Structure formats: C-alpha cells, structure tokens
Structure 1
Amino acid sequence: MTYNIAILGASGYTGAELIRLIAGHSSMKIKALGGNSKAGQRMASVFPHLRHMDLPDLVTMEEIDFSQIDLCFCALPHKTSQEVIAKLPKTLKIVDLSADFRLRDPEEYQRWYGNPHAAMEQQAEAVYGLTEFYRDEIRAARLVAGTGCNAATGQFALRPLITAGLIDLDDIILDLKCAVSGAGRALKENLLHAELSEGYHAYALGGTHRHLGEFDQEFSAIAGRPVKVQFTPHLMPANRGILATVYVKGDAQAIHKALQSTYVEEPFIDVLPFGEAPSTRHIRGSNFCHIGVTGDRIEGRAIVVAALDNLTKGSSGQALQNANLMLGIEETEGLMMAPLFP
C-alpha cells in the first residue's frame, strides 16, 4: 500500500530532509508540499539537490486537499504550527516537528516560548515523539510531537541512567555542541559565514535554552521528583551534527552496561565499546545515534558522549520513524541509509 504524504514548511531544512528521506521509502508518495513564502515555485529551484525527484510544486496550505492525504508532516516554526494544526481535519494523522506540542503543561509552554498555547484540544492528544521510549503510544497516536534535537541527544544519554538509579540526579552537567542547521534556514546576521566560521561559542547561558523544558518534563517524570540538569549549548561551524558530553556521578562500568541493555535491540542506537567516544563525522546524514562511556580520573564520576545528526535522528528522521509506526509500516523503512563519510 502507498500512503499519500503532505509536508508543510517544505522550503526549510527539515522539510527538505523529509523529502530526501521519503525518496527512499517504498510506501510513501509526496502528494503536496506547502511553503507559503515560496508558493508557486518548483522544489528544484528552492533545493537544487532535489531536482532529480518528481515533486509537486510548492503551494499555500489553503490549496492542499487534505482529504487526499494520509499523513501530514508539519515542519513549521513554533506558534505558527499550533495555529495551522488546529485548522487541519480532526482525523488527519500529523507528525509535528515544531516545539508546539512537546510540553504537556501549557504554563510551561508559555514560560519557555513566550506565548499562550492556542491549540489545547490538540495538545491533549499529542504524544511525545522520542520513538525509542514512546513507541506504543506513537503507534496509536493521531498527533505526534517531535522532540527538540538537543533534547533528544541528551535524553538518549541520560534516560536509562535515571531509570536505573545509577547517577546523582542533583549533579548532571550537559555540555552540547550543535551545528548551524539547527538554527533553521532564515537569514540571521550571527549565522553569516564571516560571523560564524572559524569560531565556536556558547549561547543560552544560565539555563535559558528552551529545550530545558523538555529535559525538566521528561527527567522529572522518570525520577518521580524534580530533576534539573545544568545545560550549556554551543554553536559550532558545521552544517550538521550534535555532540553531547554529559558529566555524571556514578559507576562508569554500570552506566555502560545500563545503556547497552537498554539499546541492545534498538536499530538506530549504537552503544560503543567501553572507553570509545563517538564523533559527528560517523553519523552525518543518517538516523543513527552513537553513545560512548568512559570513566574519569576522579573516582565515582563518568562521562557519557552522544552524537547524532540534528536534521535526521534529531528531527526529520525521527519524524519519519514515528510516521512509519503510525501508519503500520516497518519502523526502519526509508531510514537504514549509511552515514555520509568523509
């Protein structure tokens, strides 16, 4: 069976990544591409690397006949996404890549994103889209909220350790480096080549990054009490990739075993041999996440390092993985491509 797919926000990086992934999918056909700012244009002119594909032209959302669509990916900015999704047919399956349905508490959403939630009916049915930990709920969902790319990386490293009670919950330091595509495709002065290249800087210092809302929500739910991590993101002059270095108090060998046992059957999570560290070079363009563990010279401390591609496993690949589950397709379909190297 072939399912008809719509992508809203197809002129952005995550939209283009969805198209690239669906190109290798045996059960999905792209029926409509929404992109209001570039409506009327051909995808070959917006993204020349996709010119070999037979794709519909970009149109406004109002021009799409959703009665012909089986599943819609919504790759729009937060705030816009909830307004759009509230107007879509109530029976349409949706995977949202924005932040609008990640936080279950509307007060937390307003705190982190600065505006009231405008689609609480849809929020009530949304399932958090971290596939490896919400698989059963995602299968039965109509609306899935994709995670933040930084939030996904940190959770892959830490969720099993919190569940197993292996680390000090009051002493978690998460140092994360993210490539520039995580900031989206909009023109921004600080992302110009001359401003960004040959440099490397921290941002959202002091606990102001919005993905902390996801860490607080998910880690506290696992632990059964409030858990707050110390988190500093850094922008690196690379197109793709996230590398998270997590410093914890706990036995490094036990931490490694817990991660291995958690992910042993997971097709996209690879725990490296003890003492090895992953690199963003080795997951680029793929839906894989590599995790490494080592001890520290300070007794009783461990270092966990996780790497994934922010556009694939951190966003569009995760979205396709969830869509496969929602449509009853093999979860790995369209996602087993090898990483790009060098």
Structure 2
Amino acid sequence: MTSKPIRATIVGGTGYTGAELVRLVLGHPSLELASIVGNASAGKPVAEVLPSLRGVVHGQVQPFDPAAIAEQADVAFCALPHAASAKAVSALRQRGQKVFDLSADFRFEDLAVYEAWYGEHPVPERLSEAVYGLVELHREELRDADLVAVPGCYPTASTLALAPLVNNGLIQLDGIAVDAKSGVSGAGRGVSGATHFPESAEGVRAYKAGSHRHGPEIEQELSRLAGAPVRIAFVPHLVPMTRGILATCYVQPANPNLTAARCIDVARELYQGSPSVLVLEEGLHPDTLWVRGSNRVHIGYAQARPGGTIIAMSAIDNLVKGASGQAIQCLNVRFGLDEGAGLQATALWP
C-alpha cells in the first residue's frame, strides 16, 4: 500500500482517452495530477484545449520531456498513437518510470504479428517487458509490472465475453464470429468524414470487416486461454452515439448439452470478486446505456435453441473500461490499492 499520493503525468492528455484519464485521476483518492503533456497543443492553456477542465485544472499543456516527467511524476500514462507511443514509452522507461501505455505498441507477444498489422516496431527489445493489462485475466502478473500494455476497446469487450467459455473448453474454437458496435469517440478527436455528424448521426456502418487491427489482439488472448491457435471473424460497426461498445459473439458449443445458464455460471466463477464485471441473469441483455461513463462491464449469454449457437454479449464504455478506466484499474493492482479505487462511479443514466 502507499500512503502519499501517486503523482501521475498524462502524455497525450488532450485527446479523448487522455481527457478521460485526467477526469479519473482527479477523482482518484490516491492519485495526484502532475502534468498534462501534449504535442501540437504544448504551451496552450489547459482550459483552452480541454474546455471541460476550465476552472478545475490550471496552467499549460507541457511539451514531452522525459527527464522532467521522471522527476515530477511516479507514473506516466501514455495515450499516443502507435509507434509514437513506443518511442515515448522507451524514453520514460530508460529513466525508470512506470508506464501504462494505451497504444497497441506493447500488446503483442509476437513481434511478427505486430509488424504485420502496424508496421515496423520502433523498440522491439521492450516487448518482453510488457504485461497485457486485461486485469480480470492478468491480475497476478500486473502486481509487479513496470510497463503495462492497456488493451484495446474491442478486445476488452469481446475477450471478456468469450474468455469464460474458452477457458472452460465449452465451445468449439472454429467459427467464432464477433460483431461489435462502437460509438464515434473510438475514432479519436481528429476530424474525418466518417465521424462528421451529418455522416454518422443517421446511419450504421460496418468498417474494416475482417481486417481490423483489434482482431489479432482478440485472437492472441483467446489462443492463450485455449492453449491452441484461435482465429475469429471480427466485424466492427460505427453507430450514431458518442460512447459505448456492444460486442455480440456467436460460438458453437463443444457439447450439445451446453446451455446459457451454464455459461453464466462459469462466467460468474471466473469474474468473482471483480469490481468491474457483472454477469447478468439469463434473459437480460447488456445495454451500453447501463455502463456509460463507468468502468463497468455487463456480460450476458443466450442460446438460439437447445444445443444450438451460444450468443455471448458484452457492453462497455469504450473510453473508460475500454481505455482510461482500465489503465487506472491496472495502476490500482500494480500499487496494491483497492482494484476499484477511483472507479466506483455509476453509469450516466439516462
């Protein structure tokens, strides 16, 4: 346990996940905000870049200076794009800084898989340092991790729904299909036609079907649980809301006697004691509105017919449990704090 505040710097603190980190750090009983670091926004008042912090956080956005960060902070959260994050993380680790990285740069165990989807890795020698930060499945490894790779939003929702079934050998490993729908904040703060209000507010569209970078991340975790290679069909969709992910996964039972009730039982056993995961009663289906703004995960199971397809569902807030809240949860475990510290807020409902 720690008695004095843990000083946290947020690198890339002016995007959506960075701003969410600021909000969560400010509300955490054991954390103190040391600084917000930006690139193009360096030198500008925080209130100008992040209007929601007007009157709350004073001062300016700081430039990236790893020596200064190491001096003024105990931990750093990195919310930068891939490749750029790897270089920043490496510079911070060289100075002994504990880092929670929200990019994809340290999520993959296999360098070849990373480079097939993201290109050349700037610091491949650091991959072995990282622990994958899906707390519910890597809690013990996180207790002494100094570099944490915070999972992606889609992998968090999808993996948590499927993990109990794979872990207990209840489903066939072939033919797993994941249909996931996300709000537009998942695309980041940058402006694009796809997320422009007139083009996103009245329609639902699939994108990068079968070729989204989060697919191999889901496969990595499921393969680890199965002890054998797992391949999935992953189709993400953009829906006209700001926050939230609903993942609906279709799998075939390994035994025709498998029921939704059995799936619920094994999921509750796996996630027993988790401050974040709630496995719903049979007949209830997860809703993104029930978790919006919170670090909660709602998981549900259904079955098409006796002996038929199992439907595993999960709802999260993509900016909280799918990113910043999960990073805080990892920090709590790493520093011996209550795992749910600073993450007890209920959903913003309605």
Alignment of 1:74-223 (within 5 A): 74-90=78-94, 91-113=96-118, 115-205=119-209, 207-223=210-226
- Aligned mates of 1:111, 1:77 — CA distance in 2: 17
1:312-333 deviation per Cα after TM superposition (whole angstroms, max 9, x unaligned) = 0000000011112222222211
- Aligned mates of 1:62, 1:266 — CA distance in 2: 37
| Aligned equivalent of 1:281 | 289
- Report the residue type matching 1:270 in the other structure: L
| Shift in Å, 1:188 | 1.2
| Shift in Å, 1:140 | 0.4
- CA RMSD, aligned part only? 1.3
- TM-score, normalised to structure 2, is 0.94
Contact 2:92-2:99 at 8 Å conserved across structures: no
Report SS of the residue matched to 1:61: coil
Report SS of the residue matched to 2:251: strand
Report SS of the residue matched to 1:336: coil
| Shift in Å, 1:35 | 0.4
1:207-246 deviation per Cα after TM superposition (whole angstroms, max 9, x unaligned) = 2110111122111122121111111100001100000111
Contact 1:66-1:89 at 8 Å conserved across structures: no
**Identity fraction in percent:** 43
1:270-327 deviation per Cα after TM superposition (whole angstroms, max 9, x unaligned) = 0010111010010000000001111213632221111000000000000011112222
Contact 2:275-2:339 at 8 Å conserved across structures: no
Contact 1:240-1:284 at 8 Å conserved across structures: yes
Runs of 5+ in structure 1 lacking a partner?
A: none
Change (3 A) 1:229 1:70: same
Contact 2:93-2:99 at 8 Å conserved across structures: no
Deviates more, 1:295-304 or 1:162-171: 295-304
Matched, 1:18 2:21: yes
| Aligned equivalent of 1:30 | 33
- Aligned mates of 2:248, 2:221 — CA distance in 1: 19
- TM-score, normalised to structure 1, is 0.96
Moved over 3 A (4+): none
2:230 to 227, 232, 236: 227
| Shift in Å, 1:253 | 2.2
- Aligned mates of 1:208, 1:245 — CA distance in 2: 18
- Aligned mates of 1:277, 1:302 — CA distance in 2: 13
Alignment of 1:189-338 (within 5 A): 189-205=193-209, 207-250=210-253, 251=258, 252-297=260-305, 299-338=307-346
Deviates more, 1:211-220 or 1:232-241: 211-220
- Aligned mates of 2:21, 2:76 — CA distance in 1: 11
| Aligned equivalent of 1:67 | 71
- Aligned mates of 1:65, 1:292 — CA distance in 2: 42
| Shift in Å, 1:96 | 0.1
| Shift in Å, 1:68 | 2.2
Contact 2:248-2:313 at 8 Å conserved across structures: yes
- Report the residue type matching 1:92 in the other structure: Q
- Aligned mates of 2:93, 2:222 — CA distance in 1: 33
- Aligned mates of 1:70, 1:19 — CA distance in 2: 15
Contact 2:206-2:238 at 8 Å conserved across structures: yes
Contact 1:275-1:295 at 8 Å conserved across structures: no
